[in-house]
Structure 1
Amino acid sequence: MTELIGWMNTTFGSHNIEWKQVVLIGMTPFFLLGFAIEWQIMRKRGTRHSFDWKENFTNLSLGSSYQVFELAMHVLVVGAAVFWFWDHRFFTIPINGWTLLPIFLGVEFCYYWFHRCSHRVRWFWTAHVVHHSSENMNMTTAMRQSMLYVITGWWLFFTPLILLGVHPTVVFILYACNLSYQFFIHTESVGKLHPILEYLFDTPSNHRAHHGRNDCYIDKNYGGVLIIFDRMFGTYVEERESVDYGIKRQVYSQNPLTLNFHEFIDMWRDVVRPGSLPQRLKHLWAPPEYERPPSDLTTQASIESKPSRE
């Protein structure tokens, strides 16, 4: 494995290759095959209601724009930033049969916190909201991604592993494997699996619950491949009632620009609204549902309405 990584870096130039997107693009034939199988299964069941072809096309458009933008930003900014952390690493962890599983668990742990923050911190939610804005569930929903991820800083959550001494190529390839697995759990064609699998892994059932806007499902099941960290940190919920997909403030649009930027624009509108500076800035790091106390807006309005003494 170490020799393979060295060859990839020597051959392609480690700073300029976004290995996550390279792997995801390489997986595209398997993604399309999985979607075709899913569609056939649902067609035979007579339950094709989750296949809105206009929305499926929107999902593909969002996924394509996300990949192109991520590749460009990696070349311009992220690659250099990530390798700055690598140059300042504390250790150098070898890649072998003993270390690969712990590194995989480390990537899963970092992903759990990235995903959890993407729901509970509005700055990160402005990107992740795109993925949750579909009211249908099929494998193309996995491609419903935002161009803003690289701007809001998804890659920062994986820098602790790089500082500890895991090469960025290894981190991003394992993260891509994590995301590739998740593509196939965005489906209603698979019911609940064996209880042991449901207990350990992020299954289609567990992930359907994650996409629900039902009150019981909101902000649950953040795992990528595994569901064990949700069980450890109290964010696990079992799929029980029928899942209502979408977001609380649903956006009824198929326009990729609207879907990419609506929440980001709304966040900054809230920031610039009159009020005290701490309360205004809180919109950046507070949960998406945060609203300022009426007293803050009332006080500011009162100050602005007082006549000048000059």
Structure 2
Amino acid sequence: MGDFINTAVNWIGNLLGPNPDWKQALLTAMTPIFIAAFLIELARARRLGRLGQFHWKEIGANIALGAGYQVMEALAWIVAGGATFAWFYQYRLFDMPVNAWTVVPIFVFVEFCYYWFHRCSHRVRWWWAAHVPHHSGETMNFTTAMRQSVLNALVGIFVFYVPPVLLGVPPAVVMFMLAIDLSYQYFVHTESIGKLPAWFEFVFDTPSNHRVHHGRNPQYIDKNYGGVLIIFDRIFGTYEPEVEKVEYGIPRQIRSYNFFVLNFHEFVDMLRDVLAPGPLWQRLKHLWMPPDWKRPGHEPVHTWTVERKEMPAADPDEIVVARQA
């Protein structure tokens, strides 16, 4: 396996140049497989008469968000990302070989880093502002995995992947492992797959485990952060099994398909909370406290308010988004 990864890294490096964005390169290469999987999912749902999780306006928003994310991630790597990891790598403690003996521990370490990135992205508002678009969708299908924010490239999430680089894992290998992790996660965003065998559900993130993660049911909020593995959730007490039907979305739902609203609504609200009158130290807490934290004496800002028109249950797409006065 180590030889395969080294060969893949060298081949992509020769193809894309001396300092490619390994993560985006693999995710881009996987795009035809992602599209094919979605078409199969859609065809199966149509055959079974289960098209409720396919709302075309939301699917369009998912794809637009994914495209914006890919472009911004690529630009960020060119401008700063590659150089940043190279800078840290020069201060590495060891030279970590990549071979059949080390490739699995390296992957598990990258998954461990992903777990803490993901957990902090729910519990620290600065990072939640970039992660919330992924959770604001109210349906679940493979395209939900594409629902990412352009802010991901700008809020410093690279810090979670510095530890393996400092230990001596080449940045290219770290990014390649992360790309494998993210590619796997595409396939857990679905309602078309039920629960898998108990041993698999115990060790790995699965569609059932990940549906819980996207739920706004009280018992499902901030649970099941794992990417490929679910064992760190079990170790650190953030695991929750899927029992009751999942209601997708966020506690204060933004029912919009607008690219800019979806990307920036939480970031704008966070900055407005910081700028609102009050003691400076209390105002700055909005940057690192959990998203639901309330400053004493301050009413949280919601720039975009949402009202749902009265509609038949079969027409969930009819919405209006009104800007708050």
Question: Would you say the 8 A contact 1:55–1:254 is kept in 2?
Answer: yes
Which has more radius of gyration?
A: 1
Matched, 1:153 2:156: yes
Question: Would you say the 8 A contact 1:93–1:164 is kept in 2?
Answer: yes
> Once the 2 structures are TM-superposed, how far is the Cα of residue 12 of structure 1 from its aligned partner?
3.8
Question: Would you say the 8 A contact 1:210–1:219 is kept in 2?
Answer: yes
**What letter is aligned with 1:187?**
T
Identical aligned pairs, as a percentage? 56
Equivalent position of 2:120 in the other structure = 117
Matched, 1:236 2:239: yes
Equivalent position of 2:193 in the other structure = 190
Any residues of structure 2 matched to 1:31-180 within 5 Å, and which? 31-180=34-183
Aligned partner of residue 197 in structure 1, secondary structure: helix
**What letter is aligned with 1:74?**
W
- In the alignment of these two chains, the number of paired residues is 295
Question: Would you say the 8 A contact 1:14–1:169 is kept in 2?
Answer: no
**What letter is aligned with 2:252?**
R
Cα shift readout 1:146-168 (whole Å, capped 9, x = no counterpart): 00011111211000000000011
Unaligned runs of 5+ residues in structure 1 are 298-310
Inter-partner Cα distance in structure 1 for 2:92 and 2:14: 20
Unaligned runs of 5+ residues in structure 2 are 300-325
Q: Aligned pair in 2 of structure 1 residues 257, 96: CA closer, same or farther (>3 Å)?
A: same
Aligned partner of residue 177 in structure 1, secondary structure: helix
**What letter is aligned with 1:116?**
R
Structure with a larger share of its residues in helix: 1
Question: So what's the TM-score if we normalise by structure 1?
Answer: 0.92
**What letter is aligned with 1:107?**
V
Cα shift readout 1:251-274 (whole Å, capped 9, x = no counterpart): 111011110011001000000111
Inter-partner Cα distance in structure 2 for 1:31 and 1:12: 22
Q: Which of the residues 23, 26, 37 maps onto 2:26? A: 23
Equivalent position of 1:302 in the other structure = none
Inter-partner Cα distance in structure 1 for 2:200 and 2:95: 34
**In angstroms, what is the RMSD of aligned CA positions?**
1.4
> Once the 2 structures are TM-superposed, how far is the Cα of residue 14 of structure 1 from its aligned partner?
4.0
**What letter is aligned with 2:56?**
W
Inter-partner Cα distance in structure 1 for 2:225 and 2:211: 11
Q: Which of the residues 195, 205, 210 maps onto 2:208? A: 205
Question: So what's the TM-score if we normalise by structure 2?
Answer: 0.88
Aligned partner of residue 106 in structure 1, secondary structure: helix
Inter-partner Cα distance in structure 2 for 1:87 and 1:4: 23
Q: Which of the residues 282, 285, 309 maps onto 1:282? A: 285
Cα shift readout 1:7-48 (whole Å, capped 9, x = no counterpart): 654664443x11101000100111011111111121122110
Q: Aligned pair in 2 of structure 1 residues 11, 136: CA closer, same or farther (>3 Å)?
A: closer
Question: Would you say the 8 A contact 1:8–1:14 is kept in 2?
Answer: no
> Once the 2 structures are TM-superposed, how far is the Cα of residue 248 of structure 1 from its aligned partner?
0.7
Aligned partner of residue 219 in structure 2, secondary structure: coil
Inter-partner Cα distance in structure 1 for 2:18 and 2:222: 36
Cα shift readout 1:85-120 (whole Å, capped 9, x = no counterpart): 111111110110000000000010000000000000
Aligned partner of residue 107 in structure 1, secondary structure: helix
Cα shift readout 1:24-73 (whole Å, capped 9, x = no counterpart): 01001110111111111211221101101111111111100100111011
Inter-partner Cα distance in structure 2 for 1:4 and 1:188: 33
Aligned partner of residue 248 in structure 2, secondary structure: coil
Inter-partner Cα distance in structure 2 for 1:4 and 1:184: 22
Equivalent position of 1:225 in the other structure = 228
